[in-house]
Structure 1
Amino acid sequence: MSTGSGASISVRGVGKTYQAGAGPVRALLPTDLEVAPGEFVVLLGPSGCGKTTLLRMLAGLITPTEGVIEIGGKPLFSGRSAEPSRDALGSLGFVFQAPNLMPWRKVWRNIALPLEGKGVSKAERRARVEELAASVGLSDFLDHYPKALSGGMQQRVAIARALIHHPSILLMDEPFGALDAMTRDSMNLLLQKVWMDMGKTVVLVTHSISEAVFLADRVVLLSQRPGRIQDVVDVDFARPRDLTVADDPHFGELVGRLRKQLGGHR
């Protein structure tokens, strides 16, 4: 496990119920989860199990129906307020399934977008982008427009944008799900390197069992809706991991264990 600048995450009794026309829909049962500073945790489970709901609650995008979330020991939602704490939000970076880049802005200006609202000067924005770009393999593409980049390169831009304000926690919602297998492998290697270099706390949602086992310190398996934690699997392969770790019999055992609990899902 990486030990760096990441912050802890504490989830205590957090659940979510949506109000629908046919009545309340229970998306996530009361859930407890502790993520240590610098840990890489993957949320895995079938579609509709509540893993994205949980991730979005950690990001302050959805208000829990019940329970408490703490970021770095401080409440994400204070008292009865449905609005997340600005201080806590400043500790978070979020990467969505789609890159969501602005096509009329060059790559460097897409990455720098979170800094503009903070009043950072153009010269400092550019300098900070150039420093970060080297870590994610974008140095030669900063003055390109997004349409000139492949899907994998666009997701690199999205990751850089999420990291540009130096968050201590990186939340990722299936960021590589739309990529082909080879590109996905390269992005997994890149993400592992970024995590090891920067020491962020990472919580990633995926449908891919092999991706979860490759990246995680711990895989948190959620059940069918209403979601609950069904299993927590420790992954103890040495870091850095390369793609040959998938040939290790223990890797296959972990993948098989999780697949069995998912009922044959990939």
Structure 2
Amino acid sequence: MSADPTPGGGAAISIKGVGKEYTTDAGPVRALTPTDLEIKPREFVVLLGPSGCGKTTLLRMLGGLIMPTEGTITIGDRLLYPEGDDRPSGEALGSLGFVFQQSTLMPWRKVWKNIALPLEGKGVGRKERRRRAEELAETMGLTDFLEHLPRALSGGMQQRVAIARALIHRPSILLMDEPFGALDAMTRDRMNSMLQQLWMDTGKTTVLVTHSISEAVFLADRVVLLSQRPGRIQDVVEIDFPRPRSLDIVKSPLFGEIVQHLRSQLGEI
């Protein structure tokens, strides 16, 4: 599957002064302080931080799921929220694929129909939906499971289906909210290796939220570390390990040094 072009000629995602404040019965709660960040086309960026630091809030704002209290988000050359509009731009949303913490598959639909679901709303015919689902199933190692229902799949396989569904409309940007957090350690390692290969093969700009420091260092070009709530960017760490990265890289001294640095920033040591 070839890489899709990223809209615009500059940043894939431009975040300028973006913050979020929630209204509660006890008064306003600031989840994210105004934040600036640019993400380059085909870059793999990981948002890392403690629980409640605003990383998922930021990712959901990037995905058009919640509206920022202030600031602007630009996807390629399109404002996600056009000036004066409280609904996200359909054109900007078309550049985005979103993978949630849970696979959120429809249990009564076969795997190929779950993958192809976003195309139904676009009026794509059944034959083309099936063809594109089969194409993605091959990429994700799901070819033998197209006729299965989700309950027949392991948690890792269900998340593969969810990733394929997020890619079916050929977005240039993939947003992922802790998609492997509920998996056991061995399955999570396999999924991280798969995700790295998918990213290398497709060239999708990818933004991943995680609590796992080692997962962040293994996958990222850059780790963006957020502080305790109200979240702010505390540190940005470049990860220069060559790709593809073997799982054995976690044993290297440099990997350990980066993990230790991030842990100290998080106050874990």
Contact 2:4 2:170 in 1 (8 A): no
Gaps of 5+ in 2: none
1:45 and 1:5 mapped to 2: Cα distance? 30
Of 197, 208, 211, which aligns to 1:193?
197
Q: Which amino acid counterpart does residue 148 of structure 1 have in structure 2?
A: A
Q: For structure 1, which segment, 74-83 or 166-175, has the greater mean C-alpha deviation from structure 2 after superposition? A: 74-83
Check if 1:66 corresponds to 2:70: yes
2:263 alignment partner, SS class: helix
Contact 1:49 1:223 in 2 (8 A): yes
2:41 alignment partner, SS class: coil
| Aligned residue number for residue 159 of structure 1 | 163
| Aligned residue number for residue 246 of structure 1 | 250
| Aligned residue number for residue 220 of structure 2 | 216
Deviations 1:17-65 (A, max 9, x none): 0011111000000000000000000000000000000000000001000
| Aligned residue number for residue 5 of structure 1 | 5
Q: Which amino acid counterpart does residue 34 of structure 2 have in structure 1?
A: P
1:139 and 1:183 mapped to 2: Cα distance? 19
| Aligned residue number for residue 182 of structure 1 | 186
2:206 alignment partner, SS class: strand
1:102 and 1:82 mapped to 2: Cα distance? 29
Contact 1:30 1:67 in 2 (8 A): yes
Contact 1:4 1:38 in 2 (8 A): no
Contact 1:105 1:145 in 2 (8 A): yes
What is the deviation of 1:4? 6.4
1:176 and 1:5 mapped to 2: Cα distance? 27
Q: For structure 1, which segment, 73-82 or 84-93, has the greater mean C-alpha deviation from structure 2 after superposition? A: 73-82
1:247 and 1:4 mapped to 2: Cα distance? 34
1:179 alignment partner, SS class: coil
Deviations 1:110-129 (A, max 9, x none): 00000001111101110111
Q: For structure 1, which segment, 245-254 or 205-214, has the greater mean C-alpha deviation from structure 2 after superposition? A: 245-254
2:256 and 2:6 mapped to 1: Cα distance? 30
Deviations 1:148-204 (A, max 9, x none): 000000000000000000000000000000000000000000100111100000000
| Identity among equivalent pairs (%) | 73
Compute the TM-score of the two structures, normalised by the length of structure 2: 0.96
Of 28, 35, 42, which aligns to 1:31?
35
What is the deviation of 1:5? 3.0
1:258 and 1:212 mapped to 2: Cα distance? 10
Check if 1:171 corresponds to 2:153: no
1:157 and 1:252 mapped to 2: Cα distance? 33
| Aligned residue number for residue 263 of structure 1 | 267
2:37 alignment partner, SS class: strand
Of 90, 109, 113, which aligns to 1:86?
90
Compute the TM-score of the two structures, normalised by the length of structure 1: 0.97
Contact 1:151 1:179 in 2 (8 A): yes
2:136 and 2:26 mapped to 1: Cα distance? 48
What is the deviation of 1:74? 1.2
1:46 and 1:251 mapped to 2: Cα distance? 20
Gaps of 5+ in 1: none
What RMSD over aligned residues (CA atoms) do the two structures have, in Å?
1.0
Q: Which amino acid counterpart does residue 94 of structure 1 have in structure 2?
A: F
Check if 1:95 corresponds to 2:79: no
